[in-house]
A and B are shown apart, each in its own frame.
Chain A
């Protein structure tokens, strides 16, 4: 089945700097890769996603890149702000269990002002 690894587990950046979180996946059949942001006491909220037919997608300060050959994808946040502090999860879909998402273990991002 699909396995998703996420790095780093914690990341501290200065306000205004960029942050990059990387994930690798194992199942070449996976074709959908969402990123979720989870704030304290809340459920995961989708912030951006990418499908396997594109290599990069941007939404204002957030971008995701996908390398299907190497089976890895990354989240890039530019001009970080204190409100970007949260836990970020990458995920990949899987043929198992219907429309299952397999999640990475998460990255705690701290933006210092």
Chain B
């Protein structure tokens, strides 16, 4: 059982480049989300989706886009990378029930030069 799979694990970009971080889950979860983790700031919600075809913004959405064409996949796109987007990005999934646990992937470590 793979759970939540994120690719790539590491990436270095130049300022202005674009890229897509991939996230896939095999638990048939309706709810998926993207967080970024920065030192001393815990995890902050970027975007989330409550089901295929439905996405919405979280706390820190600027500079990122998402789509949810299938239940399994929830890619995160950086439109024009900036040094402030250097971070570790985590994808998570859960059932739609608010009191069910979220399952996290192992993260993508992204550096913007």
Contacts and interface: CB of A to CB of B under 8 A. Distances in A.
Interface of A: 4, 31-32, 34, 36, 41-46, 49, 51, 89, 93, 97-101, 103-106
A89 B42 contact: yes
Interface in B50-94: 50, 56, 58-59, 90, 94
A89 B104 contact: no
B48 A103 contact: no
Interface of B: 4, 6, 31, 33, 40-43, 45, 48, 50, 56, 58-59, 90, 94, 96-107
Contact of B107 (A31, A34, A43, A98): A43
Contact of B98 (A89, A99, A106): A99
A25 B59 CA distance: 18
Contacts of B101: 34, 46, 49
Contacts of B100: 32, 99
B50 A106 contact: no
A99 B92 CA distance: 11
A105 B107 contact: no
Given A43-B107, A46-B103, A93-B99, A100 B43 contact: no
A97 B45 contact: yes
